[in-house]
């Protein structure tokens, strides 16, 4: 098992004070200064790697080809990569790399995937277009850029010998942070991981220092089905599911009007069921995402979801009994398909202080936020972690129209490198 600090309850903060060197003094050191300039000199190389990695489809659960490509890139630079049993790419700078390690990570998987290589392309406006180019092609390109920049300067490589680069699986959707869970809880390599800097998307205007807890459920109503006329009165799974959703949303709308309640959200993101317009469906399904800044509120929402499903089931079966078809009843199951724990960093955590110091030196203004990222898992276990953007601009995440523009990427990469140097000094 990886080394970790004492676990803290979800939603509480990890705090550990330590002196952070001056960012200006660190940036003035010759090996650091030269490497900060490398990102500008090699911007075309970075953009080309960004294009190539995004052209390798990697929807959640199917990241293998992209993982193999990333491992080959790290190997070509002189790093020592390996792919663990979960599918994560773990790249050491050299044979002398020793822990405890500061892990720099970016997730491999995307919500949508290109069907053809040409779906990922640069437009006349200089933007890179296609599924996953910002989330998280930008993060993967940053991993490669950082590794190449460090390997180009042996003096800096010595300073950052405790850094490892990880391209992990299972961050999106029903991946349920599986790659990060494996690294933090199950890795047979027993990597001593002391903290995580998660690279996710382009924006540099926020720092995710608090983990937003979430739970996800698969709701299925089933029934005998039948003809819409000759079997009229039979229990209808679609009707029951619709009622359950209505009951839940109406109750939550009332609860969210209470200003003292912690912020929370819900989303019925998938609804499926039925075969034809004149057939009573035999099944109806929905997948729902629940999130809250309060673990207690999240559990309350989950309990409400169960009670609404039970009530909808009761009403639909009463209706079928009144319609003369008491045997044509519906049934329901709720299965939890994902759970992301909460946690957080205190304002005086060294990781956060280092990011803030780098931001101040580079003139970057960022706000602290609560969000759901790969950092959820280490934070919930008491391991310091934060998620930041890698620079550049992007939009349309999780849609076929996603885009990325490299303007501002150099500052984002300099921010990451300077943060790593401050933490390693």
In the prediction, which pLDDT does 1 show? 25
- Confidence tier at 147 by pLDDT (50, 70, 90): very high
Q: What are the tokens at 318? A: 């009463």
In the prediction, which pLDDT does 257 show? 57
Question: Which of 3.40.50.300, 3.30.750.210, 2.40.50.140, 3.30.70.360 is the CATH number of 213-340?
Answer: 3.30.70.360
pTM of the model: 0.89
In the prediction, which pLDDT does 19 show? 62
- Confidence tier at 5 by pLDDT (50, 70, 90): very low
Residues 350-366: pLDDT tens digits?
Answer: 999 999 999 999 999 99
- Confidence tier at 96 by pLDDT (50, 70, 90): confident
In the prediction, which pLDDT does 14 show? 41
In the prediction, which pLDDT does 44 show? 97
CATH superfamily of 13-212+342-424: Zn peptidases (3.40.630.10)
Mean pLDDT, the chain, whole residue set:
92
The stretch 94-122 carries a mean pLDDT of 94
The stretch 157-182 carries a mean pLDDT of 95
Decide which of 425 and 119 is more confident: 119
The single residue listed with the structure tokens 């996800």 is: 216
Distance CA 185, CA 168 (A): 14
The stretch 284-307 carries a mean pLDDT of 95
Domain ranges of the chain: 13-212+342-424, 213-340
In the prediction, which pLDDT does 325 show? 79
Which residue in 331, 222, 209 sits closest to 272, CA to CA?
222
Query: With b meaning 16 or more CB within 10 Å and e meaning fewer, what string describes 318-346?
Result: ebbeeeebeebbbebebeeebbbbbbbbe
DSSP helix/strand/coil, 403: strand
Residues 297-338: pLDDT tens digits?
Answer: 999 999 999 999 999 999 999 998 887 777 889 999 999 999
Decide which of 173 and 244 is more confident: 244
Residue 48 pLDDT > 50: yes
């Amino acid at each position: 098992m990886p080394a970790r600090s004492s676990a803290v309850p979800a939603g509480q903060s990890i705090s550990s004070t330590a002196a952070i060197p001056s960012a200006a003094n660190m940036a003035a050191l010759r090996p650091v200064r030269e490497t900060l300039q490398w990102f500008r000199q090699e911007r075309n190389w970075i953009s080309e790697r960004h294009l190539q990695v995004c052209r390798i489809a990697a929807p959640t659960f199917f990241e293998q080809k992209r993982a193999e490509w990333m491992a080959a890139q790290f190997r070509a630079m002189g790093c020592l990569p390996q792919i663990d049993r979960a599918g994560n790419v773990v790249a050491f700078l050299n044979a002398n790399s020793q822990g405890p390690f500061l892990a720099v990570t970016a997730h491999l998987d995307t919500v949508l995937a290109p069907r053809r290589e040409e779906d990922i392309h640069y437009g006349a406006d200089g933007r890179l277009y296609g599924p996953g180019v910002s989330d998280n092609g930008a993060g993967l390109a940053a991993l490669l850029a950082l590794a190449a920049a460090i390997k180009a300067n042996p003096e800096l490589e010595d300073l950052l010998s405790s850094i490892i680069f990880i391209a992990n699986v299972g961050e999106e959707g029903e991946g349920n942070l599986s790659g990060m869970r494996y690294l933090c809880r199950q890795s047979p390599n027993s990597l001593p991981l002391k903290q995580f800097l998660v690279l996710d998307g382009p924006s540099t205007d926020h720092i995710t220092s608090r983990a937003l807890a979430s739970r996800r459920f698969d709701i299925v109503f089933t029934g005998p089905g039948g003809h819409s006329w000759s079997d009229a009165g039979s229990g209808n799974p679609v009707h029951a599911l619709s009622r359950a959703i209505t009951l839940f949303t109406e109750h939550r709308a009332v609860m969210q009007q209470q200003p003292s309640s912690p912020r929370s959200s819900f989303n019925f993101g998938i609804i499926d069921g039925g075969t034809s317009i004149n057939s009573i469906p035999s099944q109806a399904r929905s997948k729902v995402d629940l999130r809250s800044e309060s673990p207690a509120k999240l559990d309350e929402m989950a309990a409400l979801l169960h009670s609404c499903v039970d009530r909808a089931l009761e009403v639909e079966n009463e209706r079928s009994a009144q319609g003369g078809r008491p045997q044509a009843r519906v049934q329901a199951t709720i299965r939890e398909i994902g759970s992301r724990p909460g946690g957080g960093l205190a304002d005086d955590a060294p990781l956060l202080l280092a990011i803030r110091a780098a931001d101040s030196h580079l003139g970057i203004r960022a706000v602290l936020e609560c969000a759901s990222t790969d950092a959820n898992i280490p934070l919930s276990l008491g391991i310091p972690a934060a998620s930041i953007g890698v620079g550049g601009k992007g939009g349309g995440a999780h849609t076929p129209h996603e885009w990325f523009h490299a303007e501002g990427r150099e500052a984002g990469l300099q921010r990451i490198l300077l943060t790593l140097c401050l933490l390693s000094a």
